[in-house]
Amino acid sequence: MVGGSATTPSLQARCLGGGSVVNSAIMFRLPDWVRELWERETGLMLFRSADLDAAYDRVFARTHVAPTPMSVMSKRNLITRDALAAAGLEGEPLPRAVVGCDGCADCLTGCTGGHKQSMDRAYLPAAEKDGARIFTCAEVERVLVENGRAVGVEGRVVDPRGLRRLARFRVRARNVVLAAGPVQTPVLLLNSGIHANHTVGATFFAHVGGGMVGIMDQVVEPWLGATQGWGAFSKVTRGLKYESLWASPAVLMVRWGDVGERFMKRLEEVKNAVVVAFVYRANVTGKVGRLPDGSPATSIFIPEEEARTTLRGAKVAADALLKIGARYVHTGIPGVVDEMRTPRDTESLLDPKVKAKHLQMTMNHIFGSCRMSADATGTVDEHGRVKGLDGLYLCDGSIFPSPSAVNPQATIMALSDVISRRLGELH
């Protein structure tokens, strides 16, 4: 959970392959305007370099990125397409790292058919062939530092079912690379006494947004088709993106139908549901710290003007669903009309009483807790090396200078490609 303006859930992976296993495999290159912004923010040429372009090319080829086939769009994705088009948002099939998608709409809990090209499928088997050894139940707790250099890690072996501590381990290495994500990486550094001039965890960002459910007169069977097959970018608000979405009712209906009796009353309508998600690159501030027991403490604060921009984006999607025939639209946002049936109802999204704290969202796109920069404000340099400490490198979304405006997986992988190749040149 992320604290701050509102207590917000954040989907984070605890599995081999990390976040690539529990997302929809959407792969976007960083937009040019964000690349230019990152260069200005950091003073680094990397973000507009040929090295990064080449890394994207390698990653996209390795993971077989391609537009989502129309054959697996399903009614849910096509209704989203039509709604966005009715709002003047001409979208396109989302580019995804999938081979032979069978449209099971279950990307968020893995891929039952093994079609999604997550890290455990696209990269790790080749790494094993080249001599890498993978220990899935070895939980790193601390980076070992001697004489100003990272020399290894230590931690515990855990039972994957009960998470019981079974044994301790210590591994020494010439270099250490951390890729524990924007929450766990800074906490691991702090627990190791590594502060990098107090920059570790000092900045933390996320895309804000939410989602809405449109109940159609027709049977949609939303559990069929690509999890997220269609998307569009706003022409009015830079950094605002709309996507079709599906997840299990147990996840969606906590916000839509509540729990208990309210859940059961709306359960019958699931077969008629279309879910449209929207994410926005808001100017937020946040930090990652640690609690006394060494666990993470995260917070993100959303300026009210950015919340209003997000809510205006929500109104566009709600009006669009009504325009193409939705019986009603529901957002789960407190203070908003519960079942919006007319444009007048959707005006409630713009009520000044609706604040940032009322947004109903999941902060799944998180970044920047150990940001990269040329000056002392960042934790790592352009090589991903932790400043003030030899032999320690970061290769995950924590090094983003600020939000990416698009799904971050491709950029995480491309930056990691650049950093790992440069690291390889040292040997």
Going from the C-alpha of 369 to that of each of 1, 218, 416, the distances in angstroms are: 16, 45, 16
Q: What CA–CA distance (Å, rounded) separates 246 from 274?
A: 8
Name the residue among 259, 177, 247, 170 with its Cα closest to residue 213: 247
Give residue 265's pLDDT.
78
Torsional class of 239: left (φ above 0), alpha (ψ -120 to 50), beta (otherwise): left
Torsion from C-alpha of 118, 119, 125, 130, nearest 10 degrees? 150
Give residue 255's pLDDT.
63
Name the residue among 256, 254, 288, 287 with its Cα closest to residue 269: 256
Q: What CA–CA distance (Å, rounded) separates 118 from 307?
A: 33
Average pLDDT, the chain: 94
Q: What CA–CA distance (Å, rounded) separates 20 from 116?
A: 9
Give residue 145's pLDDT band: very low, low, confident or very high (50, 70, 90): very high
CA–CA–CA angle 149, 187, 174 (5° rounding)? 25
Give residue 43's pLDDT band: very low, low, confident or very high (50, 70, 90): very high
Query: In this structure, what token pair is assigned to residue 305?
Result: 């003007």
Name the residue among 171, 169, 131, 133 with its Cα closest to residue 151: 171
Q: Could you report the per-residue pLDDT of 183-218, keeping only the tens digit for each?
A: 999 999 999 999 999 999 999 999 999 999 999 999
Query: In this structure, what token pair is assigned to residue 192?
Result: 């190791």
Point out which residues pair with 215 in neighbouring strands.
273, 328
pTM of the model: 0.96
Q: What CA–CA distance (Å, rounded) separates 4 from 287?
A: 9
Give residue 251's pLDDT.
75
Give residue 321's pLDDT.
98
Q: Can you tell me the mean pLDDT for 356-381? A: 95
Query: In this structure, what token pair is assigned to residue 420?
Result: 């790992």
Give residue 257's pLDDT.
59
Give residue 256's pLDDT.
62
Going from the C-alpha of 422 to that of each of 332, 387, 427, the distances in angstroms are: 47, 16, 10
Residues whose CB is less than 8 angstroms from the CB of residue 337 and which lie 6 or more positions away in sequence, other chains included: 345, 346, 348
Tell me phi and psi for residue 127, to 5 degrees: -65, -40
Name the residue among 271, 125, 121, 299 with its Cα closest to residue 205: 299
Is pLDDT of 254 > 70? Answer: no
Give residue 262's pLDDT.
74
Give residue 268's pLDDT band: very low, low, confident or very high (50, 70, 90): confident
User: By mean pLDDT, which of 70-79, 278-287, 303-312, 358-367 is the weakest?
Assistant: 358-367
Q: Can you tell me the mean pLDDT for 140-169? A: 94
Q: What CA–CA distance (Å, rounded) separates 402 from 413?
A: 16
Name the residue among 50, 49, 47 with its Cα closest to residue 33: 47
Residue 197 CB coordination number (10 Å): 12
Work out the end-to-end distance of the chain between its first and last CA atoms, rounded to an integer number of angstroms: 40
User: By mean pLDDT, which of 160-164, 183-187, 280-284 is the weakest?
Assistant: 160-164
Burial of 126 (0-12, 13-18, 19+ CB in 10 A): exposed
Give residue 329's pLDDT band: very low, low, confident or very high (50, 70, 90): very high
Give residue 151's pLDDT.
98
Is pLDDT of 346 > 70? Answer: yes
Give residue 9's pLDDT.
86
- Cα dihedral sign for 201, 9, 112, 106? negative
Residue 8: strand, helix, or coil = strand
Give residue 421's pLDDT.
95
Beta pairing, strands 392-394 & 328-330: unpaired
Q: What CA–CA distance (Å, rounded) separates 87 from 229?
A: 18
Going from the C-alpha of 12 to that of each of 15, 268, 309, the distances in angstroms are: 10, 30, 26
Residue 20: strand, helix, or coil = helix
Is pLDDT of 309 > 80? Answer: yes
Query: In this structure, what token pair is assigned to residue 126?
Result: 């080749």
